Structure 1
């Protein structure tokens, strides 16, 4: 679910208040041009129709669910303001034979779509409704005489441009977001394994360690290394070597599924898993599951490798208390026992209970 910052809600509220103020400013300008006989009608439309409509939306902006439904509320606001203006144009013509300008319709559209941020699809729907309303008004009351066709074309064209500009803007923003997401992923994830890269792994591990210290829970670091990987690469080529790296990542993702589990590629054929709030027995069970899944993979190894099928060795550093330790220290301890696992014949794990 998308989370919206309170500042954005305040910004929209301020924009609505600015819109209400603009209505009052335009009132002052319009009253200079209007005959005095129309003051009552005009002030009724602006102060008892348009102004209250905007104030209702301002009040709604304090609603807890406002940000979820804001696009629909603003689209409704745009339609309500436009049709209020159509009513004023029609009554001015029918009762006073006065040609009231239509430019307000265009101003409402651009303000609501861009200042309030109505997205493309809703903006298109609202403006189609407004175009149809203006065309209906011109059919019922040819206010602008022989300029009705050009007036209808101008309003329709302006609202179309408004919608098209919204489409281009939304598309540009979407493309920019997708690009930023890709760049963010590239900065944090190893492109081959789709696990955290070394820098991101360290950053996330430091945060998890701080959280573990705060809640006084255990931590474990598992260092994994593919056995005889260089021989595999030399025999089958780098493309197959890449597939072995991907297989290791897939197996790790199958075993470690908690949101707090941190999985990363440390470099080359080395991988690291950082776990928090877990028992030593659970860690050992996970390590054995990793080895079992490699056995099930049945990935044929190179000639001269220690085992006929690809496997990995695992060094585990477990700490029941983490108040005085660092991530680097845990990684170093895991690296030491990984070396022991290699010396003992590979395709196995060795656990050390870290003591500061």
Structure 2
């Protein structure tokens, strides 16, 4: 049995697809299972034990400065030709809703059976649940398991942790970037929250953000915002983790005990690493996009803009999360 899973979109979407890959592996333990993704999200699948191979193509919008679109299209054509020679038995287009572009990929590659969502069968529930419905015709009808993500051990060891002011002081990951303006919590509140957490239990912090200048036309970043937060937290055990590559972000988040961030790719990466999360939601839907398979607290104001979440709100969410963790440990 030869199976190809196609997921060509964002980082969080691919993380939420890993339970589907695990379900295929449990159902067909001896199958050859491969994945086709893009160069942007491919590190999500590095070290995934349920996959025999990962193939990545470059989207034209992700090309480096000066790179030719034609050259990228030729690379993709070569990949399709190589995959076509595999003669897959099953291709799963693992994206909820109609995906004509991904279905074209599947048809060009060819397989005895191609599974893809229609508009009607992808509504409702979490993204991982929506994706898993694709497998119902195969007799795989189970609640999705946990997300699967693995940090590179060498990169993780290279992450420097802030000194612990007291024994067992927790390491809190703060990710301050978000693609949508309504998801961007003010940097001054991150600073106030960090000080409040440190006063309470000696928390220490790793800072993450999207690197680059905010005026970059293709990939705007939050370097200036990170600098302001570092200046505001100079009196705290606080280390900045500049992550130019997704692999570095995965490694850095793997060293955290808990994570505070907005809805987005980093949140799903943290969930894939098993981290408890306090997450800010603006105008995105928690029902579909909340952290899957880990303890979490969602904060979403009625305005659907995270600027209306106060530091007190965030502190209360941190306390609730810690109470849940303590309760879970007691039950175990």
Give the TM-score band, short-chain normalised. under 0.3
- Whose Rg is larger? 1
Higher relative contact order (CA 8 A, sep 6+): 2
TM-score, normalised via structure 2 length: 0.23
> Which protein is richer in helix relative to its size?
1
TM-score, normalised via structure 1 length: 0.22
